[in-house]
Amino acid sequence: MAINQPSGQIKLTNVSLVKLRKNKKRFEIACYQNKVQDYRKGVEKDLDEVLQIPQVFVNVSKGLAAPKDDLLKSFGTDDIDLIIKEILLKGEIQLHEKERQIMLNKINNEMLTIISTKCINPKSKKRYPPTMIYKALQELKFSPVINKPAKSQALEAIRLLVSKQIIPIARAKMDIKITIENLELVESKDSEIIPKITKYFLQPTINKTDAIKKWVCSGLIDPVSYRDLVTICTGIATIQVLDMAVIDTST
């Protein structure tokens, strides 16, 4: 005789669970595999493409939906879409072991590629291959995790590599151009603006047009200085990134 399963039970076929604890309560949503990362990266914006079921649960496998009162107390709203978005962005992804390994491999490869692109051997001025970076990170016991973007983990790994110097390594320089359309007006508000900007350049190339008081400075900077320059230039100058990572490929 056939045994019928409870109607509320959900078969966990091709499902990735995202769990979030809030206000001492656990909430879960059922998503399609790989779609959670796409949503977090901004690649996928349609919740219908991410969710298996547009519902918040306390236990997905048992089909136990989260009570409305618990949602309101924990999230401050009963808007299901807003709650689901918070769980998607902040929750922990629960994967089967095979899925976890596939995801880790993907993130690891992305991370190693980013590091290889952004870093050089300061002596040879060449990029390191991802395999060599991988070995150095293994020696430093640095391993990627699933719930953080590959880019942020790559930047964290770069800081560690540069600090420990397991291999001679440094961030490649950025090539940028800064343009002030009316230098006279800007200097009337901040007479030290030019020294503030040019001190970040290694060997700046400056071009000034007297007719319209246009001032242009281009050259290489250390990538860690970029945010400082953006802060200085906001509202008074434009910054153009010509090359994110300048690599000397000459033999």
Write the secondary structure of the chain as one string of H (helix), E (strand) and C (coil).
CCCCCCCCCCCCCCEEEEEEEECCEEEEEEEECCHHHHHHHCCCCCHHHHECCCCCEEECCCCEECCHHHHHHHHCCCCHHHHHHHHHHHCEEECCHHHHHHHHHHHHHHHHHHHHHHEEECCCCECCCHHHHHHHHHHCCCCCCCCCCHHHHHHHHHHHHHHHCCCCCEECEEEEEEEECCHHHHHHHCCCHHHHHHCCECCCEEEEECCCCEEEEEEEECHHHHHHHHHHHCCCCEEEEEEEEECCCCC
pTM, rounded to two decimals: 0.57
pLDDT at 248: 52
User: Among 127, 150, 120, which Cα is nearest to 222's?
Assistant: 120
In angstroms, the CA 73 to CA 36 distance is 25
Residue 214 CB partners (closer than 8 Å, separation 6+): 179, 180, 181, 182, 183, 208
pLDDT at 7: 44
Measured distance between the N- and C-terminal CA atoms of the chain, rounded to whole angstroms: 77
pLDDT at 244: 83
SS3 120: strand
Question: Do 221 and 174 contact (CB within 8 A), yes or no?
Answer: yes
* pLDDT in 10s for each residue of the chain, 251 residues: 444 444 444 555 567 889 999 988 999 999 887 788 788 888 888 999 999 989 999 998 888 999 999 999 999 998 999 999 999 989 888 766 777 788 889 999 999 999 998 999 988 888 899 999 999 999 999 999 887 889 999 999 999 999 999 999 998 999 999 999 888 888 888 889 999 999 999 888 888 766 668 899 999 998 888 999 999 999 999 999 998 878 655 44
Q: Which two three-digit tokens encode residue 109? A: 């490869």
In angstroms, the CA 182 to CA 178 distance is 12
> What one-character DSSP code corresponds to residue 52?
S
pLDDT at 251: 40
Query: In the chain, what are the domains?
Result: 15-94 (3.30.1250.10), 97-171 (1.10.10.900), 173-246 (3.30.70.120)
Question: Do 142 and 160 contact (CB within 8 A), yes or no?
Answer: yes
Interaxial angle between packed helices 97-118 and 150-164, expressed in degrees from 0 to 180 and rounded to the nearest 10: 60
User: Among 78, 79, 95, 110, which Cα is nearest to 35's?
Assistant: 95
Q: Which two three-digit tokens encode residue 182? A: 């009316």
Q: Which two three-digit tokens encode residue 173? A: 């320089």
